[in-house]
A and B are shown apart, each in its own frame.
Chain A
């Protein structure tokens, strides 16, 4: 019998399409694979339900009446206190009560708009950087912002200059302090790091020796030893030996520490610049300063941006160490607030909350750095 018409194609067998195929290839392609899937599921089973139960299902959310942006949201009649919060699950009213401490430390409550403005400015900074990406004078805009932003932020947070009431540094705390330490650390240490990197690559032996010694010394010791040095020994190094600000001492230690790490990152970028670029700059008669400022550094810094962000992430993580020398950052607030006689024994809630805040910030930073890495990778591919 002749077949005159085109046979319609049959559908693929059910095992070769869709969810079942995906399951077969990804989860149960072999016995060992199936076993691994089973083990992973078991791991999830023992980890997720108790965690979910502790954090959400059995947790106490009796915040009382909360005012969010003018809307009154009623969670419960009265706010729960330590007694009628269970011990077997999270007591979030404790975090709600201490939220201010976690974010601002001991910053006076009536002045808390000032850090808020700084937070807003910081967000605005990122938005502007994005907006002016294709603007002709973007470098000038960004540079002027980089110069004005720290000054404005300092005046807002510290006060003084006859403009705003002074807030002493020992009142700064919580997330505010962590962010201040990280951003001051990054801004101050970056130029030092670039100079050190150039010094280490220099042909001048004495300069190279000192830069290398400094970098290797700092990188060889833990940050704590440097913070201890900064808080115990640094005052002895100075003439008048008046007890100068504890935060300032910590910041000096952190800036020097971070400078060594930035120096190595920038050096990596410098080493990636082809020799021809140096020679071309020499050939057109640029001097050392012009050569680095106009030819070498713009290229070197650009390729080291992902690593600079990576190093900044480490600095933000390391900023928690300042609690060891007695500064009240967000992590220190956990111990601080759990000593409140009304809220004894709520460290775990504090740690979980602080972990979540840090994780969200650090995770978005690391995603951002990965995005940059991909962007700069494609640009360099010829």
Chain B
């Protein structure tokens, strides 16, 4: 309808008037931009196909089925996918993806606690603690994260002992320059039930929490639920675990002649990478937490004290909910940064997506467009998920009526 109006308007104009008509100009600029970009893409893609043909590079995704033919550092992705050099390139992709996700997951977990701790310490009344936390932030924030990864990796393999002289923790866990050896859990039939019990426990806790919150809203009676939740989340699986006759045992690492055998090896690359990423990202999270707490108006704390809340209640019910509203969005952004930075593992050879798939497979196959495209899509997908999460949180935390 509107289009037609514009058209009829435009038709009635002389050429000179048209030149100065905003609608016409807007239309012209958009078409010009579109043509320019379309032309650019046309040339680029044309050149791409010419060059690919000229260099004899294959195209398409059939390389994914080919035999990979190289070893991957044994880690979680390897164990889950049962990777051998005979596996396909697609398996390498999955192995890399799993290894990326595990670094992101554990890194986010560690960095949250570290960041929270440093951020709160930064605001401590204790002069020394506040200065130490400030020093931590200034020190680690101003060193490139790649340098930190190299540094910790180098420290790890240089100061920890040779496997023969491993540090031993009660013969259950070992630490040497090849990594940390933990007992490997071996699940038997029925362990699934324990996991289900754990999940059910969490769900029940959520319902219980809702019920008591509702009761609190309606009657004003406050019930402490911490004991019940612990019982549900930890007790329920424990009962099942014992009922089913402990369906879990551990495979301990044993010190052999030259090396440790068995157990679950956590490679130094993983430890150095996760440690460096967590330490670096924690500086940003600490600053986010600090600015969140500082953003809470002083009057809020005074009001809480005036209506007789204790220090803990004031922190839990008044200060933290408001502080988190400010602190959570930048924190989630940092989670995304940590995930993206995990691709720096390429430099120390931890087999995550960009190192095993985007690195080794790319060198073997040479189909850069397809391989890098796949890797980029994965990161884009992760970014998309995290921004959806961010939008959800923002919506949930928005102050109603503002």
Contact = CB atoms under 8 A, between A and B. Distances in A.
Interface of A: 26-27, 29, 33, 36-37, 40-41, 43-44, 203-207, 210, 217, 219-225, 228-229, 232-233, 235-239, 241, 317-318, 320-321, 323-324, 331, 334, 347-348, 351, 354-355, 358-359, 362-363, 366
A40 B48 contact: no
A321 B347 CA distance: 9
Lowest 9 A-B CB distances belong to which pairs? A220-B383, A232-B368, A26-B127, A362-B142, A206-B30, A222-B340, A317-B144, A222-B343, A40-B128
Between A33, A232, A363, the greatest number of chain B beta carbons within 10 A of the residue's beta carbon is seen for A232
Interface string B243-266: 000000000000000000000000
A233 B379 contact: no
A359 B143 contact: yes
Given A205-B30, A210-B37, A331-B147, A228 B126 contact: no
Contact of A224 (B29, B126, B151, B354): B354
Contact of B341 (A26, A222, A359): A222
Interface stretch (B86-94, B173-181, B369-377): B369-377
Contacts, number: 145
User: Chain B, interface size: which category?
Assistant: 35 or more
Contact of B380 (A29, A220, A232, A366): A220
Contacts of A321: 146, 344
Contacts of B380: 217, 220-221
Chain B binding surface, main DSSP class? helix
B34 A206 contact: yes
B139 interface: yes
Contacts of B145: 317
Interface of B: 26, 29-31, 33-34, 37, 44, 47-48, 51-52, 54-55, 124-129, 132, 138-139, 141-147, 150-151, 154-155, 158, 340-341, 343-344, 346-347, 354, 358, 362, 368-369, 372, 375-376, 379-380, 383-384
A43 B143 contact: no
B154 A363 contact: no
A228 B54 CA distance: 21
Contact of B358 (A37, A205, A225): A225
B51 A228 contact: no
A354 B148 CA distance: 11
Given A351-B147, A362-B144, A366-B141, 4 more contacts: A27-B128, A36-B124, A37-B129, A232-B368
Contacts of B138: 363
